[in-house]
Structure 1
Amino acid sequence: MSELSDTIRIVKADPPGGPDALSIQTRPTPRAAAGEVVIQTLACGINRPDQFERMGFYPAPPGAPEGLGLEVSGRVAEIGEGVTRWSVGDPVCALVSGGGYGDAVNVSAGSVLPVPDGLSIEDAAGLPETVFTVFANVFDQAGLSQGETFLVHGGTSGIGTTAIQMAKAAGARVFATAGTDEKCRLCERLGADIVVNYREADFQTVFSEAGGVDVILDMVGGDYVAKNIAIAKAGARIVSIAFLKGSQVQLDLMRVMLKRITLTGSTLRARPNSEKARLAGLIEATVWPWIADGQLHPVIDSRFALDDVRLAHERLDSGAHSGKILLIP
């Protein structure tokens, strides 16, 4: 591991806008406060929330490191007071609240996880944001259990590819939607039992005929909400984590009441460090063994140099990607 210089690069969108709004800026190298570590970044993942932040719709919580980026992998470069688990040089990945696009970032030690056995440090950057999000919403909040039926919309997104594999590893029957036949086949290879190309078929009809769904992870919103309610089984849980088709919806509360459906949603970034540490412990105990056993791996779509961050966001905006887009500082 090379020593950190006095300055690092970060990425900002100032003013907000499209990929052209992104610029690389220089800042003093962060130091580890009490309870923190500094990670020398070897890779960082790109996620939809980064797109929303770039556009000015997803401000960072108070105290977050400056700049875009919510997940990294690399090696521990500095340890703050009170941190006992980690040592300088340890290969790790971490969920960060900002500043992931860059050379180094400081993070609460409780949000740091070891690079799983059998996975490269670089590819581990594709895990934290998606795994934390799926685990927090599908398992911790919605309580998906073995034998239930699970549906994820956008099955080839970073969240989708992760959710399919995690639900399958947990013993669920897995449904997914995707926008091309090629993407549908990828969902099937990852373990999905039934996949619908939403441009060619009505997923409401297909999944209703297949028996309905117990847990739905929705990143679409809009008219999908009413369709989710229609295909939900009695006692189903529907979790919204994004709304690409809009957050304003109309729904029939009578259906919700008659089926005893739970409608909920969440964000991850602004949760307190103690909550993220709790999730990290559960994830290491539950999900990391799935990775070691070959039941889960990050699907990497493409890799870009940090200098090409605008091209990476153009790839994200296009919707053509399958899996995670990584930046390599």
Structure 2
Amino acid sequence: MSNKIKYFVKTLWLLFLLLISNIQLNACKKEISISEIKKETVTRQDYAEITVEKIKLKEDTKEIVYELKSQEIKNIFLILDLGKETADLKIDNKKIKTDLNFTYDILQEDAIKDIKTLVNKSGNIIFLLPVVTEEYLTFQILKYDKLKMQFSDSYFHFETFDNIHQLYSNSKSTLSEKSNNYILKIDSYQFTGNFTHKNQYSLSKKNDTEFNGLFSICTPDKRSDTIKSETCYEILIKSNMASIAGNTSVCSGKYSITNVNENEIQLITENNPNCQFKIKKSANKFYIQIKNSEYWQELIKDK
């Protein structure tokens, strides 16, 4: 065999080996890509808003019971305790206390109407519940994992004083979740956060109703110039949770509650350790201590 023929055969063989290697490499890339897509499909959950009928099943002087019903969900009940002014959600015989505000600065019918419901292909459900309807419009995001039969929640608020209630009502909401982190979209607004299991902090039976209510306080700011300014807070306490809205977003959000003593509670948030509040009751009046200040200021309670 001549040298030219040997060279030609050798070159052809090398080209064949390169072609086989390239095919195998592309196959591996494709396999990895498919694997990543499958992994993404498992870990990422997309929720879409559905239309839910809210049927009033019962109403008396003690409670009102609604059934939330649609083609996608059933056997979900919202129980409004008129005495404690709290709302429980019941799913699959699991009951959880929500932060739905249906008495303070909002009509009961409007509160029920403002509830949005989102579902995903796994049958998990998310509820958007109005918590604060003045100042910054604030909502609780309550998630129910149908497989684990567990609740978790988070909060979001619109950082604007503009009246955007109509935008919220007329816009379809979507939520994308991955590893308990979520992105919630409502019209042009986007909110990010993470879900946590419902907080286990609880008040004593006495404090459970004693500190319930809507409170407000304004404190003057220390400034070197001559402009007078003040920071105002609106504090809603319902059972074992509190929500704070203010004219600054620094300390606005969700708080859990612990007992300090029989007549004093502490509001705690993980989002900002500098935002600490203590509230006590003395001689039928309520007082607040803000951010470890030495001084107690009287709170105004909305009757």
TM-score (norm. length: structure 2): 0.29
Which structure would you say has the larger Rg? 2
More helix per residue: 1 or 2?
Answer: 1
More strand per residue: 1 or 2?
Answer: 2
Q: Which has the higher contact order (CA 8 A, sep 6+)?
A: 1
